[in-house]
């Protein structure tokens, strides 16, 4: 499996999970979460889906033969995981009365990686 296919694989997996988590949030968690928690959960799902679509698209259009492209993909893959999944963990643990505070600093780290991925994409375009 080449780098393009691996990027597409992550994009497809993140897209699949975004749909599953979105449905889970809309149905199973809707009665258990506060409106603020539900909004946070939905933010995680949205960002995950946005970046899933981006990863699939990048896999079609780039060959990942250069370092810049590889770092870009890595930033998007890790950033999406850290950002969205830490939000899911924070929200679900808080709704159970045991907020995993260790996840708090992970969310902005994931966001920073997403920003870096977009910066690297901008550099790639320029």
Angle at 72 (CA atoms; ends 122, 17), nearest 5 degrees = 115
Q: Are 117 and 107 within 8 A, CB to CB?
A: no
User: What is the rounded average pLDDT for all residues in the chain?
Assistant: 93
| Residues 7 and 69: beta-carbon distance below 8 Å | no
Cα dihedral 80/83/86/92 (nearest 10): -90
Mean pLDDT of the region 90-102:
88
Residue 2 clears pLDDT 80, i.e. is over it: no
Over range 75-91, report the average pLDDT: 96
DSSP reduced 3-state for 34 = coil
pLDDT at 30 (0 to 100): 82
C-alpha span between 97 and 122 (Å, rounded) = 42
Q: Supply the pLDDT for residue 69.
A: 95
Place 49 in a pLDDT band, splitting at 50, 70 and 90: very high
């Amino acid at each position: 499996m080449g780098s393009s296919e691996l990027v597409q694989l992550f994009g497809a997996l993140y897209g699949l999970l975004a749909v599953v988590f979105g449905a889970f949030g809309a149905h199973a968690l809707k009665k258990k979460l506060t409106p603020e928690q539900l909004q946070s959960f939905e933010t995680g799902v949205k960002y995950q889906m946005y970046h899933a679509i981006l990863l699939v698209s990048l896999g079609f259009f780039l060959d990942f033969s250069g370092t810049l492209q590889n770092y870009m993909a890595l930033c998007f893959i890790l950033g999406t995981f850290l950002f969205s999944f830490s939000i899911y963990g924070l929200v679900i643990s808080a709704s159970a009365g045991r907020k995993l505070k260790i996840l708090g600093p992970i969310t902005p780290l994931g966001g920073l990686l997403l920003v870096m991925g977009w910066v690297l994409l901008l550099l790639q375009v320029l």
